[in-house]
Chains A and B, each alone.
Chain A
């Protein structure tokens, strides 16, 4: 396995449109995380899954943001009615839960530009 992959790498959309991003984790990893990174800032935690269960979503930025991981493998992050303030890099990470010392491995990110 070559690591965490994300698709698309870049997305340009008009304000008000819906967008969906996909993340494929490292195959043996059961935890998957979403972060947002705005210009000049570090990544900001949004949500995470353990297998198909979404265990933390209070950090999702608004009810326009939602994430799924229906079969415990890949995940999607959807933003409805996009706003210019949603322009950012969206990063996905995965880890293997069990030891208490999990390390998150990041994908290349999806860069979103809302016009």
Chain B
């Protein structure tokens, strides 16, 4: 069965500093990978996705992620964070055998931005 691990429960970053959120997945084939962001009390907003092709994908709000098959990782990065980036970030893997009906999420990383 597929699974996702987000090793960092909580990360604190200074505004303007760079950010990297880690995501490791377990899946038997090439996965579909996603990063979503959730503000307090809200639903999930898609930041970016990887299906195939270029392993470095660009998303909204200046985020990017890199798929590394050898490390089973899909880490999220941003060169300079803004206070509005404070939120919960979820990595997810889709089951390509079933056309992505079943997304499996990690437990999330809570991002705090300090001035």
Contact = CB atoms under 8 A, between A and B. Distances in A.
B115 interface: no
B31 interface: no
B43 A109 contact: yes
Contacts of A45: 102-104
Contact of A42 (B43, B99, B102, B105): B105
Given A41-B108, A42-B90, A42-B108, A103 B42 contact: no
Give the interface size class of chain B. 20 to 34
A65 interface: no
Interface in B24-82: 32, 34, 36, 41-46, 49, 51
Contacts of B45: 106
A100 interface: yes
A29 B41 CA distance: 25
Contacts, number: 60
A100 to B, nearest CB: 6
A109 to B, nearest CB: 5
A55 B108 contact: no
Contacts of B99: 97, 100, 102
Interface string A62-106: 000000000000000000000000000001010101001111111
Contacts of A101: 32, 51, 100
Nearest to B36: A106
B43 A107 contact: yes
B91 to A, nearest CB: 8
Contacts of A106: 36, 43-45
Interface of A: 4, 6, 31, 33, 35, 40-45, 48, 55-56, 91, 93, 95, 97, 100-109, 111
Interface of B: 4, 32, 34, 36, 41-46, 49, 51, 90, 92, 99-108
7 nearest A-B pairs in the assembled complex, by CB-CB distance: A42-B105, A106-B44, A106-B43, A108-B43, A101-B51, A102-B100, A109-B43
